[in-house]
Structure 1
């Protein structure tokens, strides 16, 4: 029997998350999202989950990388899933409520096509999109096969940043470099989870996840 875990009730929805040791499923009800846009939109209602044994929160300066693979069939504009990194002041990694800063990356259904979407939310959310790479090229239909996203800390002669990639076989396809997370000193903590969201209407969105992993420095 698959254990039932993380039954969340948040305002407009109830999200059911089922887990096994290696794979888990997130079901997102309509009206769920992660998005911050002026003058007043500030939403962080999407259900999240992780593998039970994963260490998902730690000091930001200990972060090395995070990755997850996922699969779903989008039907409605903005159906989405992937990985989310929530940043909070030190001591508040397990706090409830909307994190002051966060990053999400994965697949988002936009203008009838699944696309790789990355959002960086420092003060407000900025969104970038790119084609989904597959073994046969770029995705052009609704069905999405297993897709892997990787977020990795990068250090060079200019400073520190996070790089976001789609991993397609042996290839890392760069999606975005995000610099601001390391611009606020060492007093921040990070929590990493998988997520699914359905900002629009229609049937709930079910997403399968596997190979969730987060790496931290000792």
Structure 2
């Protein structure tokens, strides 16, 4: 894990997208995901808990109860099955950890990731959730016609994704500017349209009911990630997925 600018950390990145002479800027940055990187949990063929995806997360971990909204825009050109990127909300972090190690096995046993993902030659709006003690629940939705519906591999696609609290639920929105290209870089925020692509009803339940690991202190990490699972090993040596992000926002109360 590496430090970023105050308020952010980088994880799973041998070469973080910032240096002392070029401070990390959440308004514009790039993540490159090597082959065999993911955020995933699977019961077969044997239980696996994977958190190898490069990410930039707001730091330190903050009380989940304080979270209100997170948003990011990004663009990528998927080339392989399951190439994906977006926002991740990791539950079960301890805000008192001095070294803060998001993604450790045995930690963040509940999480939500949302963004774009390549599946069977097309690009989809994708949401994956995992409850403590459970496995991944994956959903896909089509992009609107004007924003890349049916886009195949090898074509750049841009999108804006938002996570928003609504009482006990987490709402995942696809955000578009009316009359403008989806996720257009540098576009001024104006008259926008939000489409709900997933409601996750358990995220903000009270501690006695919320589905998190025993010992959880009610804190969470949230930020942007990129992943190239590459299950068939087609990327070759050094074959990374580059994702351009801009306007990463994390809001709380």
Structure with greater proportional strand content: 1
Q: How does 1:18-57 map to 2 (within 5 A)?
A: 18-19=17-18, 20-21=24-25, 22-39=27-44, 40-50=47-57, 57=61
1:116 partnered with 2:133: no
Matched residue SS, 1:181: coil
How far apart, CA to CA, are the structure 1 residues paired with 2:115 and 2:16?
A: 18
Greater C-alpha radius of gyration:
2
Q: For structure 1, which runs of at least 5 residues remain unmatched after alignment?
A: none
Matched residue SS, 1:17: coil
Aligned pair partner of 1:196 in 226, 230, 244 = 226
Q: Normalising to structure 1: TM-score of the pair?
A: 0.84
1:16/1:26 contact within 8 Å kept:
no
1:77/1:112 contact within 8 Å kept:
yes
1:84 partnered with 2:88: yes
How far apart, CA to CA, are the structure 1 residues paired with 2:39 and 2:78?
A: 17
Residue 214 of structure 2 is matched in structure 1 by none
How far apart, CA to CA, are the structure 2 residues paired with 1:32 and 1:90?
A: 24
Matched residue SS, 1:135: helix
Q: CA RMSD in A?
A: 2.3
1:68 partnered with 2:72: yes
- State the aligned residue count: 203
How far apart, CA to CA, are the structure 1 residues paired with 2:93 and 2:38?
A: 23
The one-character-per-residue Cα deviations of 1:42-100 (angstroms, maximum 9, x if unpaired) are: 111111015xxx56631111110000011110000000100111111543672341421
Matched residue SS, 2:16: strand
Give the deviation of 1:161 after TM superposition: 0.3
Residue 167 of structure 1 is matched in structure 2 by 175
Give the deviation of 1:183 after TM superposition: 3.0
Aligned pair partner of 1:131 in 142, 145, 161 = 142
Are residues 108 and 137 of structure 1, via their aligned partners in 2, closer, same or farther at CA, if it must alter by over 3 Å?
A: closer
